[in-house]
Chains A and B, each alone.
Chain A
Amino acid sequence: MSKQIQVSGLDAYYGSHKAIEDVSMTIEPRSITAFIGPSGCGKSTFLRTLNRMHEVIPGARVDGKVLLDGEDLYAPTVEPVSVRRMIGMVFQRPNPFPTMSIYENVAAGLRLNGRVSKSTMDGIVEESLKGANLWNEVKDRLNKPGAGLSGGQQQRLCIARAIAVRPQVLLMDEPCSALDPISTLAIEDLMAKLKDEFTIVIVTHNMQQAARVSDRTAFFNLAAQGKPGKVIEMDETSRMFTNPSQKATEDYITGRFG
Protein backbone atom coordinates (compact mmCIF):
# COMPACT_ATOMS: atom_id res chain seq x y z
CA MET A 1 0.00 0.00 0.00
CA SER A 2 2.54 2.58 1.01
CA LYS A 3 5.50 3.52 -1.16
CA GLN A 4 8.92 5.09 -0.93
CA ILE A 5 9.75 8.42 -2.58
CA GLN A 6 13.22 9.19 -3.85
CA VAL A 7 14.00 12.71 -4.98
CA SER A 8 17.19 13.63 -6.77
CA GLY A 9 18.48 17.00 -8.00
CA LEU A 10 15.11 18.70 -7.96
CA ASP A 11 14.77 22.39 -8.87
CA ALA A 12 11.42 24.20 -8.91
CA TYR A 13 10.64 27.49 -10.62
CA TYR A 14 7.91 30.09 -10.63
CA GLY A 15 8.44 31.65 -14.05
CA SER A 16 12.09 32.66 -14.04
CA HIS A 17 12.33 32.68 -10.24
CA LYS A 18 13.99 29.59 -8.83
CA ALA A 19 12.21 28.70 -5.60
CA ILE A 20 14.12 25.57 -4.59
CA GLU A 21 17.43 24.19 -5.78
CA ASP A 22 19.00 20.78 -5.93
CA VAL A 23 16.88 18.96 -3.39
CA SER A 24 17.65 15.26 -2.96
CA MET A 25 16.13 13.04 -0.29
CA THR A 26 14.54 9.71 0.42
CA ILE A 27 11.16 9.53 2.11
CA GLU A 28 10.58 6.15 3.71
CA PRO A 29 7.25 4.30 3.55
CA ARG A 30 5.09 3.82 6.65
CA SER A 31 6.70 6.75 8.41
CA ILE A 32 6.12 10.44 8.97
CA THR A 33 8.60 12.85 7.45
CA ALA A 34 8.44 16.48 8.59
CA PHE A 35 9.71 19.56 6.73
CA ILE A 36 10.62 22.53 8.90
CA GLY A 37 12.16 25.88 8.08
CA PRO A 38 11.42 29.60 7.97
CA SER A 39 8.60 31.02 5.85
CA GLY A 40 9.31 31.31 2.14
CA CYS A 41 12.09 28.73 2.08
CA GLY A 42 10.30 26.42 -0.32
CA LYS A 43 8.93 23.67 1.94
CA SER A 44 5.43 23.91 0.54
CA THR A 45 6.72 24.31 -3.00
CA PHE A 46 8.77 21.16 -2.61
CA LEU A 47 5.79 19.31 -1.13
CA ARG A 48 3.70 20.31 -4.12
CA THR A 49 6.31 19.02 -6.56
CA LEU A 50 5.87 15.56 -5.04
CA ASN A 51 2.37 15.09 -6.50
CA ARG A 52 2.77 17.40 -9.48
CA MET A 53 0.55 20.08 -7.96
CA HIS A 54 3.31 22.66 -8.43
CA GLU A 55 2.74 22.87 -12.17
CA VAL A 56 -0.95 23.77 -11.68
CA ILE A 57 0.24 27.35 -11.08
CA PRO A 58 0.71 29.18 -14.39
CA GLY A 59 4.40 29.51 -15.27
CA ALA A 60 5.57 27.02 -12.67
CA ARG A 61 7.87 24.16 -13.68
CA VAL A 62 10.15 21.52 -12.24
CA ASP A 63 13.53 20.00 -13.15
CA GLY A 64 14.87 16.79 -11.65
CA LYS A 65 13.57 13.40 -10.67
CA VAL A 66 10.95 12.16 -8.25
CA LEU A 67 10.80 8.38 -8.07
CA LEU A 68 7.83 6.64 -6.48
CA ASP A 69 9.09 3.12 -5.79
CA GLY A 70 11.50 3.57 -8.69
CA GLU A 71 9.00 5.04 -11.15
CA ASP A 72 9.74 8.59 -12.34
CA LEU A 73 6.73 10.86 -11.75
CA TYR A 74 8.15 13.44 -14.15
CA ALA A 75 8.73 11.08 -17.07
CA PRO A 76 7.25 12.74 -20.17
CA THR A 77 4.58 10.09 -20.68
CA VAL A 78 3.26 10.19 -17.11
CA GLU A 79 -0.29 11.52 -16.67
CA PRO A 80 -0.21 14.06 -13.79
CA VAL A 81 -3.81 13.29 -12.86
CA SER A 82 -2.91 9.66 -12.12
CA VAL A 83 0.02 10.78 -9.96
CA ARG A 84 -2.33 12.84 -7.82
CA ARG A 85 -4.63 9.87 -7.45
CA MET A 86 -1.73 7.98 -5.87
CA ILE A 87 -0.36 10.85 -3.80
CA GLY A 88 -3.07 12.66 -1.89
CA MET A 89 -2.83 16.09 -0.34
CA VAL A 90 -4.29 17.99 2.62
CA PHE A 91 -4.04 21.76 2.54
CA GLN A 92 -3.33 24.44 5.11
CA ARG A 93 -6.84 25.78 5.15
CA PRO A 94 -9.68 23.26 5.31
CA ASN A 95 -11.35 23.37 1.89
CA PRO A 96 -14.43 21.12 1.78
CA PHE A 97 -16.53 21.53 -1.38
CA PRO A 98 -19.26 24.01 -0.39
CA THR A 99 -21.91 22.56 -2.70
CA MET A 100 -21.55 19.06 -1.29
CA SER A 101 -22.75 17.31 1.85
CA ILE A 102 -20.37 15.59 4.26
CA TYR A 103 -21.04 12.29 2.53
CA GLU A 104 -20.54 13.75 -0.95
CA ASN A 105 -17.31 15.44 0.11
CA VAL A 106 -15.79 12.14 1.19
CA ALA A 107 -17.15 10.41 -1.90
CA ALA A 108 -16.00 13.21 -4.22
CA GLY A 109 -12.65 11.73 -5.23
CA LEU A 110 -14.16 8.43 -6.27
CA ARG A 111 -17.38 9.79 -7.66
CA LEU A 112 -15.66 12.38 -9.85
CA ASN A 113 -13.34 9.71 -11.18
CA GLY A 114 -15.88 7.10 -12.14
CA ARG A 115 -18.81 4.97 -11.13
CA VAL A 116 -18.90 3.25 -7.78
CA SER A 117 -21.95 1.36 -6.52
CA LYS A 118 -23.94 2.88 -3.68
CA SER A 119 -23.18 0.09 -1.20
CA THR A 120 -19.44 0.11 -1.92
CA MET A 121 -19.47 3.88 -1.59
CA ASP A 122 -21.29 3.75 1.75
CA GLY A 123 -18.60 1.39 3.03
CA ILE A 124 -15.73 3.55 1.79
CA VAL A 125 -17.26 6.74 3.21
CA GLU A 126 -17.79 5.15 6.62
CA GLU A 127 -14.31 3.63 6.64
CA SER A 128 -12.66 6.90 5.59
CA LEU A 129 -14.55 8.95 8.17
CA LYS A 130 -13.62 6.40 10.83
CA GLY A 131 -10.04 6.57 9.58
CA ALA A 132 -10.12 10.33 10.04
CA ASN A 133 -11.63 10.02 13.56
CA LEU A 134 -14.70 11.91 12.44
CA TRP A 135 -17.33 9.19 12.08
CA ASN A 136 -18.82 9.45 15.56
CA GLU A 137 -19.25 13.20 15.28
CA VAL A 138 -20.96 13.24 11.88
CA LYS A 139 -22.65 9.85 11.39
CA ASP A 140 -26.10 11.31 12.13
CA ARG A 141 -25.75 14.23 9.72
CA LEU A 142 -23.98 12.87 6.69
CA ASN A 143 -26.35 14.77 4.41
CA LYS A 144 -25.65 18.14 5.99
CA PRO A 145 -23.23 20.48 4.18
CA GLY A 146 -19.53 19.92 4.88
CA ALA A 147 -19.01 23.65 5.25
CA GLY A 148 -21.23 23.63 8.36
CA LEU A 149 -18.64 21.74 10.45
CA SER A 150 -16.12 23.41 12.75
CA GLY A 151 -12.62 24.18 11.43
CA GLY A 152 -11.04 21.12 13.03
CA GLN A 153 -13.83 18.86 11.83
CA GLN A 154 -13.54 20.33 8.33
CA GLN A 155 -9.84 19.55 8.27
CA ARG A 156 -10.51 15.96 9.33
CA LEU A 157 -13.21 15.83 6.64
CA CYS A 158 -10.55 16.87 4.13
CA ILE A 159 -8.27 14.12 5.42
CA ALA A 160 -11.12 11.62 5.08
CA ARG A 161 -11.70 12.89 1.53
CA ALA A 162 -8.00 12.43 0.74
CA ILE A 163 -7.73 8.89 2.14
CA ALA A 164 -11.00 7.78 0.51
CA VAL A 165 -9.24 7.47 -2.84
CA ARG A 166 -6.68 5.12 -1.17
CA PRO A 167 -3.50 6.98 -2.03
CA GLN A 168 -0.04 5.54 -1.38
CA VAL A 169 1.28 8.76 0.06
CA LEU A 170 -0.38 11.58 1.99
CA LEU A 171 1.11 15.07 1.77
CA MET A 172 0.05 17.55 4.44
CA ASP A 173 0.79 21.25 4.04
CA GLU A 174 0.63 22.79 7.53
CA PRO A 175 -2.59 20.93 8.26
CA CYS A 176 -2.94 22.29 11.81
CA SER A 177 -1.93 25.92 11.41
CA ALA A 178 -5.55 27.12 11.29
CA LEU A 179 -6.70 24.90 14.15
CA ASP A 180 -6.99 25.09 17.93
CA PRO A 181 -4.84 22.84 20.19
CA ILE A 182 -7.57 20.23 20.73
CA SER A 183 -8.22 19.83 17.01
CA THR A 184 -4.45 19.79 16.45
CA LEU A 185 -4.13 16.95 18.92
CA ALA A 186 -6.91 15.06 17.15
CA ILE A 187 -5.07 15.39 13.85
CA GLU A 188 -1.71 14.43 15.34
CA ASP A 189 -3.26 11.29 16.83
CA LEU A 190 -4.75 10.61 13.45
CA MET A 191 -1.37 10.92 11.73
CA ALA A 192 0.17 8.43 14.14
CA LYS A 193 -2.60 6.02 13.21
CA LEU A 194 -2.42 6.66 9.46
CA LYS A 195 1.30 6.03 9.23
CA ASP A 196 0.67 2.29 9.52
CA GLU A 197 -0.88 2.49 6.08
CA PHE A 198 0.48 5.56 4.32
CA THR A 199 3.71 7.35 3.71
CA ILE A 200 3.09 10.73 5.33
CA VAL A 201 4.91 13.96 4.61
CA ILE A 202 4.03 17.02 6.66
CA VAL A 203 5.10 20.65 6.41
CA THR A 204 4.89 22.42 9.74
CA HIS A 205 5.91 25.69 11.36
CA ASN A 206 5.45 24.17 14.75
CA MET A 207 8.70 22.54 15.84
CA GLN A 208 7.12 20.79 18.80
CA GLN A 209 4.72 19.25 16.34
CA ALA A 210 7.55 18.03 14.14
CA ALA A 211 9.29 16.61 17.22
CA ARG A 212 6.10 14.93 18.45
CA VAL A 213 4.84 13.26 15.32
CA SER A 214 7.65 12.72 12.84
CA ASP A 215 10.19 9.95 12.41
CA ARG A 216 12.49 11.94 10.17
CA THR A 217 12.87 15.67 9.76
CA ALA A 218 14.27 17.82 6.95
CA PHE A 219 15.35 21.40 7.59
CA PHE A 220 14.93 23.84 4.68
CA ASN A 221 16.53 27.25 4.51
CA LEU A 222 17.45 30.03 2.09
CA ALA A 223 21.10 30.84 1.51
CA ALA A 224 20.08 34.51 1.43
CA GLN A 225 17.00 36.59 0.71
CA GLY A 226 15.99 36.07 -2.93
CA LYS A 227 18.10 32.92 -3.33
CA PRO A 228 16.42 29.54 -3.82
CA GLY A 229 15.65 27.36 -0.81
CA LYS A 230 17.71 24.24 -0.05
CA VAL A 231 17.69 21.29 2.27
CA ILE A 232 20.26 22.06 4.95
CA GLU A 233 19.98 18.83 6.84
CA MET A 234 17.83 15.73 7.05
CA ASP A 235 18.01 13.10 9.75
CA GLU A 236 16.14 11.07 12.35
CA THR A 237 13.88 13.49 14.22
CA SER A 238 15.36 12.52 17.59
CA ARG A 239 18.87 13.36 16.39
CA MET A 240 17.80 16.57 14.59
CA PHE A 241 16.29 17.97 17.75
CA THR A 242 19.03 16.89 20.16
CA ASN A 243 22.24 16.83 18.21
CA PRO A 244 22.00 18.42 14.75
CA SER A 245 25.16 18.36 12.67
CA GLN A 246 24.65 21.81 11.14
CA LYS A 247 24.95 25.05 13.04
CA ALA A 248 22.04 26.61 11.09
CA THR A 249 19.72 23.78 12.10
CA GLU A 250 20.63 24.18 15.73
CA ASP A 251 20.11 27.94 15.57
CA TYR A 252 16.69 27.50 14.00
CA ILE A 253 15.53 24.78 16.35
CA THR A 254 16.67 26.61 19.46
CA GLY A 255 14.91 29.75 18.24
CA ARG A 256 17.97 31.86 17.54
CA PHE A 257 16.48 32.90 14.21
CA GLY A 258 13.40 32.33 12.08
Chain B
Amino acid sequence: MTTIQHISTSRRIKDRVVQGLVYLAFLLAVVPLVSVLWLVISNGLGRFDLEFLTHSMNGIGARDAGGGAYHAIIGTLEQVLLAGVISVPIGLLTAIYLVEYGNKGRLSRAISFFVDVMTGIPSVVAGLFVFAFWILFLGLDFSGWAGALALSILMMPTVVRSAEEMLRLVPNDLREASYALGVAKWRTIVKVVLPTAFTGIITGVMLAVARVAGETAPLLMTVFFTNSINTDPFSGPQMGLPLFVFDQAARPNDTAVDRAWTGALTLILIVMLLNLVARLIARWRSPARGR
Protein backbone atom coordinates (compact mmCIF):
# COMPACT_ATOMS: atom_id res chain seq x y z
CA MET B 1 0.00 0.00 0.00
CA THR B 2 1.30 3.44 -0.82
CA THR B 3 0.82 6.54 1.27
CA ILE B 4 1.14 10.20 0.54
CA GLN B 5 4.77 11.13 1.11
CA HIS B 6 6.17 14.42 2.23
CA ILE B 7 9.20 16.09 0.73
CA SER B 8 12.17 15.06 2.82
CA THR B 9 14.43 17.63 4.42
CA SER B 10 17.45 16.49 2.41
CA ARG B 11 15.57 17.01 -0.84
CA ARG B 12 14.49 20.43 0.30
CA ILE B 13 18.08 21.36 1.10
CA LYS B 14 19.31 20.02 -2.27
CA ASP B 15 16.63 22.04 -4.00
CA ARG B 16 17.78 25.21 -2.22
CA VAL B 17 21.46 24.57 -2.96
CA VAL B 18 20.86 23.95 -6.66
CA GLN B 19 18.65 27.01 -6.88
CA GLY B 20 21.44 29.05 -5.30
CA LEU B 21 23.98 27.65 -7.76
CA VAL B 22 21.78 28.53 -10.71
CA TYR B 23 21.43 32.12 -9.53
CA LEU B 24 25.17 32.30 -8.97
CA ALA B 25 25.88 31.06 -12.48
CA PHE B 26 23.51 33.65 -13.84
CA LEU B 27 25.28 36.42 -11.93
CA LEU B 28 28.67 35.20 -13.15
CA ALA B 29 27.41 35.35 -16.70
CA VAL B 30 26.02 38.86 -16.27
CA VAL B 31 29.13 40.34 -14.60
CA PRO B 32 31.29 40.56 -17.75
CA LEU B 33 28.39 41.89 -19.81
CA VAL B 34 27.54 44.63 -17.35
CA SER B 35 31.17 45.55 -16.69
CA VAL B 36 31.92 45.87 -20.41
CA LEU B 37 28.88 48.07 -20.89
CA TRP B 38 29.78 50.09 -17.81
CA LEU B 39 33.39 50.63 -18.91
CA VAL B 40 32.42 51.64 -22.43
CA ILE B 41 29.69 53.99 -21.29
CA SER B 42 31.64 55.64 -18.50
CA ASN B 43 34.74 56.12 -20.62
CA GLY B 44 32.98 56.88 -23.88
CA LEU B 45 30.37 59.35 -22.71
CA GLY B 46 32.94 62.12 -22.22
CA ARG B 47 33.60 62.59 -25.94
CA PHE B 48 30.13 61.54 -27.11
CA ASP B 49 29.29 64.96 -28.45
CA LEU B 50 28.12 66.66 -31.64
CA GLU B 51 31.65 67.20 -32.87
CA PHE B 52 32.43 63.51 -32.57
CA LEU B 53 29.39 62.57 -34.61
CA THR B 54 29.81 65.24 -37.30
CA HIS B 55 33.56 65.60 -37.84
CA SER B 56 36.27 63.42 -39.28
CA MET B 57 39.88 63.15 -38.14
CA ASN B 58 41.11 65.22 -41.06
CA GLY B 59 43.71 67.77 -39.96
CA ILE B 60 43.64 66.71 -36.34
CA GLY B 61 47.18 66.62 -35.01
CA ALA B 62 48.57 63.86 -32.84
CA ARG B 63 48.08 65.79 -29.61
CA ASP B 64 44.92 67.70 -30.49
CA ALA B 65 41.68 67.14 -28.69
CA GLY B 66 38.49 67.21 -30.76
CA GLY B 67 38.05 65.36 -34.01
CA GLY B 68 35.46 62.69 -34.56
CA ALA B 69 34.34 59.49 -36.17
CA TYR B 70 31.91 60.79 -38.76
CA HIS B 71 33.98 59.21 -41.55
CA ALA B 72 34.08 55.90 -39.69
CA ILE B 73 30.35 55.88 -38.95
CA ILE B 74 29.57 56.52 -42.62
CA GLY B 75 32.02 53.80 -43.61
CA THR B 76 30.64 51.19 -41.22
CA LEU B 77 27.03 51.86 -42.20
CA GLU B 78 27.82 51.63 -45.92
CA GLN B 79 30.02 48.56 -45.63
CA VAL B 80 27.55 46.67 -43.45
CA LEU B 81 24.65 47.67 -45.69
CA LEU B 82 26.50 46.48 -48.79
CA ALA B 83 27.55 43.26 -47.06
CA GLY B 84 23.88 42.70 -46.19
CA VAL B 85 22.76 43.44 -49.73
CA ILE B 86 25.18 40.78 -50.99
CA SER B 87 24.75 38.09 -48.37
CA VAL B 88 21.09 38.25 -47.36
CA PRO B 89 19.65 37.33 -50.80
CA ILE B 90 22.30 34.67 -51.42
CA GLY B 91 21.96 33.29 -47.90
CA LEU B 92 18.18 33.28 -47.98
CA LEU B 93 18.00 31.61 -51.38
CA THR B 94 20.51 29.00 -50.23
CA ALA B 95 18.41 28.28 -47.15
CA ILE B 96 15.28 28.00 -49.31
CA TYR B 97 17.07 25.55 -51.59
CA LEU B 98 18.28 23.46 -48.64
CA VAL B 99 14.88 23.29 -46.95
CA GLU B 100 12.40 23.26 -49.83
CA TYR B 101 14.19 21.74 -52.80
CA GLY B 102 17.32 19.94 -51.58
CA ASN B 103 15.58 16.80 -50.26
CA LYS B 104 18.83 15.93 -48.49
CA GLY B 105 20.39 15.02 -51.82
CA ARG B 106 24.07 15.07 -52.63
CA LEU B 107 24.17 18.75 -53.63
CA SER B 108 22.33 19.92 -50.52
CA ARG B 109 24.62 17.86 -48.28
CA ALA B 110 27.64 19.39 -50.00
CA ILE B 111 26.22 22.90 -49.55
CA SER B 112 25.51 22.23 -45.89
CA PHE B 113 29.07 21.02 -45.41
CA PHE B 114 30.62 24.08 -47.03
CA VAL B 115 28.37 26.42 -45.08
CA ASP B 116 29.67 24.77 -41.91
CA VAL B 117 33.22 25.20 -43.13
CA MET B 118 32.54 28.86 -43.93
CA THR B 119 31.18 29.41 -40.42
CA GLY B 120 34.57 28.40 -39.09
CA ILE B 121 36.64 30.73 -41.29
CA PRO B 122 38.61 33.17 -39.12
CA SER B 123 37.78 36.72 -40.11
CA VAL B 124 41.40 37.50 -41.01
CA VAL B 125 41.28 34.81 -43.65
CA ALA B 126 38.20 36.36 -45.24
CA GLY B 127 40.03 39.67 -45.36
CA LEU B 128 43.17 38.07 -46.78
CA PHE B 129 41.14 36.29 -49.44
CA VAL B 130 39.53 39.50 -50.66
CA PHE B 131 42.88 41.28 -50.44
CA ALA B 132 44.57 38.59 -52.51
CA PHE B 133 41.76 38.28 -55.04
CA TRP B 134 40.35 41.79 -55.36
CA ILE B 135 43.36 43.97 -54.72
CA LEU B 136 46.40 41.90 -55.71
CA PHE B 137 44.95 39.65 -58.44
CA LEU B 138 42.38 41.96 -60.03
CA GLY B 139 44.50 45.00 -59.22
CA LEU B 140 41.59 47.03 -57.93
CA ASP B 141 41.78 49.78 -55.34
CA PHE B 142 41.12 49.56 -51.62
CA SER B 143 37.48 50.47 -51.08
CA GLY B 144 34.46 50.10 -48.85
CA TRP B 145 33.10 47.67 -51.42
CA ALA B 146 36.13 45.37 -50.97
CA GLY B 147 35.49 45.51 -47.22
CA ALA B 148 31.84 44.65 -47.80
CA LEU B 149 32.92 41.62 -49.86
CA ALA B 150 35.05 40.37 -46.97
CA LEU B 151 32.26 40.99 -44.47
CA SER B 152 29.73 39.21 -46.66
CA ILE B 153 31.90 36.08 -46.64
CA LEU B 154 31.55 36.10 -42.86
CA MET B 155 27.89 37.02 -42.89
CA MET B 156 26.63 34.53 -45.44
CA PRO B 157 26.94 31.30 -43.43
CA THR B 158 25.26 32.89 -40.42
CA VAL B 159 22.34 34.00 -42.59
CA VAL B 160 22.05 30.56 -44.22
CA ARG B 161 22.10 28.69 -40.93
CA SER B 162 19.59 30.89 -39.13
CA ALA B 163 17.23 31.17 -42.09
CA GLU B 164 17.41 27.41 -42.65
CA GLU B 165 16.48 26.76 -39.04
CA MET B 166 13.57 29.18 -39.23
CA LEU B 167 12.26 27.68 -42.47
CA ARG B 168 12.40 24.19 -40.99
CA LEU B 169 10.27 25.42 -38.08
CA VAL B 170 7.41 26.24 -40.47
CA PRO B 171 4.97 23.34 -40.05
CA ASN B 172 4.60 21.12 -43.08
CA ASP B 173 0.83 21.33 -42.55
CA LEU B 174 0.92 24.88 -43.89
CA ARG B 175 2.77 23.90 -47.06
CA GLU B 176 0.29 21.07 -47.64
CA ALA B 177 -2.67 23.35 -46.95
CA SER B 178 -1.35 25.69 -49.61
CA TYR B 179 -0.66 22.91 -52.15
CA ALA B 180 -4.15 21.54 -51.54
CA LEU B 181 -5.57 24.91 -52.60
CA GLY B 182 -3.84 24.49 -55.95
CA VAL B 183 -1.08 26.96 -55.19
CA ALA B 184 2.22 26.30 -56.98
CA LYS B 185 5.29 25.46 -54.93
CA TRP B 186 7.23 28.68 -55.47
CA ARG B 187 4.15 30.75 -54.61
CA THR B 188 3.64 28.67 -51.49
CA ILE B 189 7.21 29.46 -50.47
CA VAL B 190 6.88 33.18 -51.20
CA LYS B 191 3.39 33.74 -49.81
CA VAL B 192 3.08 31.21 -47.00
CA VAL B 193 6.44 29.85 -45.84
CA LEU B 194 8.52 33.05 -45.90
CA PRO B 195 5.92 35.26 -44.16
CA THR B 196 5.50 32.62 -41.46
CA ALA B 197 9.26 32.50 -40.86
CA PHE B 198 9.74 36.24 -41.37
CA THR B 199 10.26 37.26 -37.73
CA GLY B 200 12.87 34.59 -37.15
CA ILE B 201 14.70 35.35 -40.38
CA ILE B 202 14.92 39.06 -39.48
CA THR B 203 16.34 38.15 -36.08
CA GLY B 204 18.93 35.92 -37.73
CA VAL B 205 19.93 38.62 -40.19
CA MET B 206 20.33 41.10 -37.34
CA LEU B 207 22.60 38.72 -35.45
CA ALA B 208 24.70 38.37 -38.57
CA VAL B 209 24.84 42.16 -38.97
CA ALA B 210 25.84 42.57 -35.34
CA ARG B 211 28.59 40.04 -35.85
CA VAL B 212 30.17 41.68 -38.89
CA ALA B 213 29.68 45.27 -37.71
CA GLY B 214 32.40 44.75 -35.11
CA GLU B 215 34.91 43.00 -37.38
CA THR B 216 38.27 44.76 -37.62
CA ALA B 217 40.64 42.32 -39.26
CA PRO B 218 38.94 41.92 -42.66
CA LEU B 219 38.64 45.70 -42.97
CA LEU B 220 42.34 46.36 -42.34
CA MET B 221 43.31 44.74 -45.61
CA THR B 222 40.37 45.78 -47.73
CA VAL B 223 39.07 49.27 -46.93
CA PHE B 224 42.55 50.24 -45.78
CA PHE B 225 42.44 53.39 -43.76
CA THR B 226 41.70 57.09 -43.97
CA ASN B 227 41.27 60.13 -41.78
CA SER B 228 39.00 61.98 -44.13
CA ILE B 229 35.42 61.56 -45.21
CA ASN B 230 34.83 59.29 -48.18
CA THR B 231 31.14 58.71 -48.80
CA ASP B 232 31.69 56.64 -51.95
CA PRO B 233 32.18 53.01 -50.95
CA PHE B 234 33.22 52.06 -54.48
CA SER B 235 36.38 54.10 -54.75
CA GLY B 236 39.24 54.91 -52.48
CA PRO B 237 40.05 53.93 -48.91
CA GLN B 238 37.28 54.27 -46.35
CA MET B 239 37.10 53.98 -42.60
CA GLY B 240 35.08 51.80 -40.28
CA LEU B 241 34.27 52.18 -36.60
CA PRO B 242 36.20 49.08 -35.51
CA LEU B 243 39.21 50.37 -37.47
CA PHE B 244 38.78 53.76 -35.86
CA VAL B 245 38.78 52.23 -32.38
CA PHE B 246 41.79 50.08 -33.27
CA ASP B 247 43.71 53.06 -34.57
CA GLN B 248 42.89 55.54 -31.82
CA ALA B 249 43.42 53.08 -28.98
CA ALA B 250 46.95 52.40 -30.21
CA ARG B 251 47.97 56.05 -29.95
CA PRO B 252 49.78 57.28 -26.86
CA ASN B 253 47.64 60.38 -26.15
CA ASP B 254 44.68 60.42 -23.78
CA THR B 255 42.67 62.43 -26.28
CA ALA B 256 43.00 59.60 -28.79
CA VAL B 257 42.14 56.91 -26.23
CA ASP B 258 39.03 58.85 -25.29
CA ARG B 259 38.02 58.90 -28.94
CA ALA B 260 38.51 55.13 -29.10
CA TRP B 261 36.13 54.61 -26.17
CA THR B 262 33.55 56.86 -27.73
CA GLY B 263 33.97 54.99 -31.03
CA ALA B 264 33.25 51.71 -29.24
CA LEU B 265 30.20 53.26 -27.59
CA THR B 266 28.95 54.49 -30.97
CA LEU B 267 29.38 51.04 -32.48
CA ILE B 268 27.38 49.43 -29.67
CA LEU B 269 24.66 52.05 -30.10
CA ILE B 270 24.47 51.51 -33.85
CA VAL B 271 24.10 47.74 -33.44
CA MET B 272 21.48 48.26 -30.73
CA LEU B 273 19.60 50.72 -32.90
CA LEU B 274 19.60 48.30 -35.84
CA ASN B 275 18.34 45.57 -33.52
CA LEU B 276 15.56 47.82 -32.32
CA VAL B 277 14.49 48.61 -35.87
CA ALA B 278 14.48 44.89 -36.69
CA ARG B 279 12.36 44.19 -33.62
CA LEU B 280 9.87 46.82 -34.72
CA ILE B 281 9.69 45.40 -38.24
CA ALA B 282 9.25 41.92 -36.79
CA ARG B 283 6.48 43.05 -34.46
CA TRP B 284 4.72 44.89 -37.24
CA ARG B 285 4.69 41.71 -39.32
CA SER B 286 4.07 39.37 -36.41
CA PRO B 287 1.45 36.62 -36.91
CA ALA B 288 -0.30 37.47 -33.65
CA ARG B 289 -1.15 41.03 -34.64
CA GLY B 290 -4.58 42.27 -33.65
CA ARG B 291 -5.18 39.41 -31.23
On A, residues with C-beta under 8 Å from B are: 51, 53, 56, 58, 81-86, 88-89, 91, 93, 95-99, 101, 108-109, 112-113, 143-145, 147-148, 158, 161-162, 165
Contacts and interface: CB of A to CB of B under 8 A. Distances in A.
B284 to A, nearest CB: 12
Interface in B180-215: 180-184, 187-188, 191-192, 195-196, 198
Given A56-B176, A91-B176, A158-B177, A81 B287 contact: no
30 contacts: A53-B176, A53-B180, A56-B179, A81-B183, A83-B182, A84-B180, A84-B181, A91-B180, A95-B176, A97-B174, A97-B192, A97-B196, A98-B196, A98-B287, A99-B192, A99-B195, A99-B196, A108-B178, A108-B183, A109-B182, A112-B178, A112-B181, A112-B183, A112-B187, A112-B188, A113-B187, A145-B287, A145-B289, A161-B181, A165-B182
A58 B172 CA distance: 13
A113 B182 contact: yes
Given A58-B103, A99-B196, A109 B176 contact: no
Contact of B182 (A81, A95, A143): A81
A51 B179 CA distance: 10
Interface string B248-288: 00000000000000000000000000000000000001011
Given A93-B173, A95-B174, A97-B196, A109 B183 contact: yes
Contacts of A91: 173, 176-177, 180
A86 B180 CA distance: 9
Interface residues of B, number: 27
Contacts of B285: 99
B207 to A, nearest CB: 22
Nearest to A86: B182
Interface in B11-49: none
A53 B179 contact: yes
Main secondary structure of the interface of B (DSSP, over half): helix
For the complex of A and B, list the 5 residue pairs with the smallest distance between their C-beta atoms, beginning with the closest. Answer: A85-B182, A109-B181, A89-B180, A95-B173, A98-B287
Contacts of A95: 171, 173-174, 176-177
Main secondary structure of the interface of A (DSSP, over half): mixed
B6 interface: no
B181 A165 contact: yes
Contacts of B183: 81, 108-109, 112-113
Among A81, A84, A91, A99, max chain B CB count under 10 A is at A99
A230 to B, nearest CB: 25
B291 interface: yes
A226 to B, nearest CB: 25
A58 B102 CA distance: 10
Nearest to B198: A99
B61 interface: no
A84 B182 contact: yes
Contacts of B178: 97, 108, 112
Nearest to A167: B182
Nearest to A80: B179
A173 B135 CA distance: 62
A113 B180 CA distance: 12
Nearest to B288: A145
Nearest to A105: B177
B139 interface: no
Interface in B131-174: 171, 173-174
Among B178, B181, B188, max chain A CB count under 10 A is at B181
B59 interface: no
A129 to B, nearest CB: 16
B134 to A, nearest CB: 41
B290 interface: yes
A158 B177 CA distance: 9
Nearest to A92: B173
Nearest to A83: B182
